[in-house]
Structure 1
Amino acid sequence: MIKRVFITATNTGIGKTFSTLTLLNECEKAGIKAGVFKPIETGITDNPEDGTKLLKKCQEFNNCFRKFMVEDVVPYRFSLPAAPYVAKKDNKIDIDLLLEKANILEKECDILFIEGAGGLMVPVGKDIFMIDFINIFEAKPLLVTPSRLGCINDTLLSMQALANKNLDFDWCVNLYEDKDSFFDITFPFYKDYFSEILILQKDAKKILKRLINE
């Protein structure tokens, strides 16, 4: 079974946290003890919104995670709503520290969901991008794509970026924007181009099964 899954997306605001929460629910149904980790969150005023949601949901199903605080799950928190490279200002993002945190969290679960920040090419350091976290954490990537007009271009570009890194990935559509027109505007191409289209809202069980069995 895959031990780590990296949740990424075509851009910010696509639904990575919603997707992770959905998969946490599926893990609970399947009797899988899940954990969560969001290495970096930006745009924080008081508490990390996404990280707090993830931890609270995880703690409902995994008693082992009740000993962790949000600081454990979100080690780096920055107030500026920007890419980590910009939001960190003069601070350093220590990759070794992130790996250490992931190792600690991983011991308390069967599968660790690691949620990225923004899209694949969001910079973390001068020469480190969010896509590089997939190999750094040795995780299986799940690409979450939107359902809005223009998503074909965004989806194919993100898939090309993953393929260029020789990364084996799964993907799914988060059907939340333009959902009434998605099947008229976007789905006809997807149906002809892809062998399978998984939609988060109806295929979460199948998505989880594919992630953990590959």
Structure 2
Amino acid sequence: MKLLFITATNTNIGKTFASLSLIEHFSKQGLTVGVCKPIETGITEIVDGELRVESGLADATKLLRKVQEYNENFKALKPIDITAYTFSLPASPFSADINRTIQIENIKSKIKQLSKLCDLLIIEGAGGLMVPITKDYMMIDLAKDLNAKTLLVTPSKLGCINDTLLSIEALKNRGISFDWCVNLFEDRDEFEEVTKPFYDAYFNEWWSLEDKGVDLINKILS
């Protein structure tokens, strides 16, 4: 069983888009994939285990539905079953948890439970690496404690070089095994001129979520 932790440079970068893409890709490659969204904030409604946010379906709902297309072991689960904590305030877990209910061991227990149902468990974090879960425990700490291979999703907008390098530096400083990729969706037309030249010069290699030629099993999971 392998763990893949999906994180990003910030919120609204494309963690869920990346997770959905990887669930489908790895499943079609013959892996039995599962999913966990340890903490979901901004929940406006919970009905019979289904999670909703103001804009519609919660990330956990989208992720579970995709996994259920391929993994029979997740068919009986509800979105609430793949989360450890849900909160109504759309904020960091620490801020959303106004009653201070979060226990890190409960998150790890949920991950351990779901990992028994698959060969690869994709764990989608909340926000970026330094988003606080508790006062002294960040998303990056969870990735480290889980000893999970981490995938950092970065944006394509102006200013993303700084965000990408800072996040990579943080992962290296914690000794976390990681890969990173670009989600080409913001300032996409300008990316070729504004950002790509630096990435090509600075990194030996890099890839985007839209790059279908990447051998993701060997690149991410090796």
Partner of 1:34: 33
Greater per-residue strand proportion? 2
Q: CA deviation at 1:146?
A: 0.3
1:9-158 superposed matches below 5 A: 9-46=8-45, 47-48=51-52, 49-158=58-167
1:197 maps onto 2:196 in alignment: no
In structure 2, the CA distance between the partners of 1:196 and 1:205, relative to structure 1 (3 Å rule), is closer
The amino acid that maps onto 1:160 is E
1:51-110 C-alpha deviation (Å, 9 max, x unpaired): 000000000010111121111111211111111100000132111111111111111101
Corresponding residue SS for 1:5: strand
| CA deviations over 1:155-205 (Å, ceiling 9, x no partner) | 001011111111121000011111111111100000000000111111475
> Are residues 15 and 89 of structure 1, via their aligned partners in 2, closer, same or farther at CA, if it must alter by over 3 Å?
same
Q: Evaluate the alpha carbon distance shift between residue 203 and residue 157 of structure 1 in structure 2; reply closer, same or farther with a 3 A threshold.
A: farther
Do the aligned partners of residues 84 and 185 (structure 1) sit closer, same or farther apart at CA in structure 2, a change above 3 Å counting?
same
Aligned amino acid, residue 157 of structure 1 = L
**Residue identity matched to 1:123:** P
Aligned length: 212
Whole-angstrom distance in 1 between the partners of 2:12 and 2:216: 20
Contact 2:148 2:177 in 1 (8 A): no
Runs of at least 5 residues in structure 1 that lack an aligned partner in the other structure: none
Q: State the AA in 1 paired with 2:43.
A: I
Q: Which runs of 5+ in 2 are unaligned?
A: 46-50, 53-57
Alpha-carbon separation, structure 1, partners of 2:32 and 2:41: 28
- Fraction of identical pairs, as percent: 51
Residue type of the alignment partner of 1:95:
I
CA contact (8 A) 2:207 2:214 kept: no
More helix by share: 1
Check whether the contact 2:35–2:67 (CA below 8 A) recurs between aligned residues: yes
Distance in 2 of aligned mates of 1:203 and 1:135: 29
CA distance in 1, matches of 2:199, 2:72: 40
Runs of 4+ in 1 over 3 A off after TM superposition: none
Partner SS state of residue 131, structure 2: coil
Does the 8 A contact of 2:23 with 2:33 survive in 1? yes
What is the aligned-residue RMSD (CA, Å)?
A: 1.3
Written as runs of structure 1 = structure 2, the 5 A alignment for 1:153-168 is 153-168=162-177
The within-5 A match list for 1:175-190 is 175-190=184-199
TM-score (norm 2): 0.92
